[in-house]
Amino acid sequence: MQTLNLDLGERSYPIHIGQGLLQQSELVTPHIKGKSAVVVTNTTVAPLYLEATQRLLTGLKHSTVILPDGEGYKNLDVLNQIYTHLLESKADRKTTLIALGGGVVGDMTGYAAASYQRGINFIQIPTTLLAMVDSSVGGKTGVNHPLGKNMIGAFHQPQCVLIDTDSLNTLADRELSAGIAEVVKYGLIRDPAFLQWLDTNMDRLLARDPEALTYAIFRSCEHKAEVVAADERESGQRALLNLGHTFGHAIEAAMGYGNWLHGEAVATGMVMAAELSQQMGWLAADDVAYTRHILQRANLPVDPPTQMTGEDFTRYMSVDKKVMDGTLRLILMKSLGESIVTADFDPAALKRVLNREI
């Protein structure tokens, strides 16, 4: 087992990564302050890992909420089902929520914890690669609104993150690839050497080699922890972690949440960011080709849906959280492995990218 610490003063917490961690209750119980816990999971994950999770909670009063599976259910109505369960089971301010599942379960459970009785504790047990390397770490929680992704939410840090790499064995290939998109992201924004490692080891990752997966997860969490520790509430550099996300969120919203997986939309979005960076004269054509290449090696889509027009993109991108005083900021690449947050791009170049006139 490897352990990282996300350093946020009194909100600091450990991230444990390794095989068989779901069997080690001593990793979880020190982080449960009261006498009760509520597990939130979904219909896909419950048959696989709920029993093991409940065993972690032996001796506590606990119950379970099982949500429908999918990004399409990450909304206020389903969130309200969690609140109703919490009230019916008399959860109080000392109750700890346990998020058992992928990014949707983690984001919704975290937001329920942020807002129930103005804030209670929670623990992340991510079961998808995407949740392990990205959404379970850093305290971003929330739900979608029909008019925009993650538009309702809070910063609320968990008490600990427990990453059992064994749970990747039951993950669908498509979900595994979607997670790799966020791993590649860390290489593209701040780690050219990791990008090279990923290029060399992509087949091992796709074959679920435990050693390769553990390294990729550890390195990703290290990057995430470093960036979040420096800028918890995204007043600056944390926005770099959103490389490809503004384009990607537009794809997810336009295509209907859940039709494109988040990681798939981000992969395509990162290629579009690379294309715009090339239009700005920052990336060479080879760098864009390399970005496409490494994502394609992970079986990820690299072209936006043909039915989306430039206007579709513009409409959804105009409500992005990185818009400030009406000005859109984007994450673009100065070189492979170095990204910046900037409002200083050529709108005509953006239009060419969105209209696929490049």
Which residues line the annotated binding site for Zn(2+)? 182, 245, 262
Active site residue 242: yes
Residues numbered 138-197 forming contacts with a copy of itself, rule: CB under 8 A: 140, 142, 145, 147-148, 150-155
Burial of 29 (C-beta count, 10 Å sphere; 0-12/13-18/19+): middle
Q: Which residues are CB-contacts of 144 (< 8 A; sequence separation ≥ 6)?
A: 71, 74, 75, 150, 151, 152, 257
Mask of contacts with a copy of itself, 117-146, x by CB under 8 A? Answer: xxx--------------------x-x--x-
Q: In this chain, which of 55, 233, 293, 334 binds a copy of itself, going by CB under 8 A? A: 233
CA-to-CA distance for 104 and 120, rounded, in angstroms? 19
Burial of 250 (C-beta count, 10 Å sphere; 0-12/13-18/19+): buried
CA-to-CA distance for 195 and 226, rounded, in angstroms? 18
Mask of contacts with a copy of itself, 83-102, x by CB under 8 A? Answer: xx--xx-x-xxx--------
How many other CB atoms sit within 10 Å of the CB of residue 297?
17
Q: In this chain, which of 35, 55, 293, 334 binds a copy of itself, going by CB under 8 A? A: 35
Check binding of 110 to a copy of itself (CB under 8 A). Answer: no
What are the C-alpha distances in Å from 208 to residues 167, 193, 205, 324? 11, 21, 5, 41
Check binding of 24 to a copy of itself (CB under 8 A). Answer: no
Check binding of 284 to a copy of itself (CB under 8 A). Answer: no
Active site residue 118: yes
Check binding of 310 to a copy of itself (CB under 8 A). Answer: no
Q: Which helix (H) or strand (E) holds 228?
A: helix 210-230
Q: Where are the alpha helices (DSSP H) in 256-346?
A: 262-279, 285-297, 310-317
Active site residue 93: no
Q: Which residues are CB-contacts of 208 (< 8 A; sequence separation ≥ 6)?
A: 168, 169, 176
CB of 88 to a copy of itself, least distance (A): 7
Active site residue 88: no
CB of 109 to a copy of itself, least distance (A): 14
CB of 241 to a copy of itself, least distance (A): 14
CA-to-CA distance for 329 and 61, rounded, in angstroms? 47
CB of 80 to a copy of itself, least distance (A): 6
Q: Which stretch binds a copy of itself (CB under 8 A): 122-130, 191-199, 281-289, 323-331?
A: 323-331
CA-to-CA distance for 318 and 140, rounded, in angstroms? 21
How many other CB atoms sit within 10 Å of the CB of residue 357?
8
Catalytic residue among 219, 223, 249, 292: 249
CA-to-CA distance for 132 and 205, rounded, in angstroms? 14
CB of 320 to a copy of itself, least distance (A): 8
Give the residue numbers marked as catalytic: 118, 140, 182, 224, 234, 238, 242, 245, 249, 262
Residues lying near a copy of itself in the complex (CB under 8 A) are found at 34-36, 76, 80, 83-84, 87-88, 90, 92-94, 114-119, 140, 142, 145, 147-148, 150-155, 233, 318-319, 321, 323-326
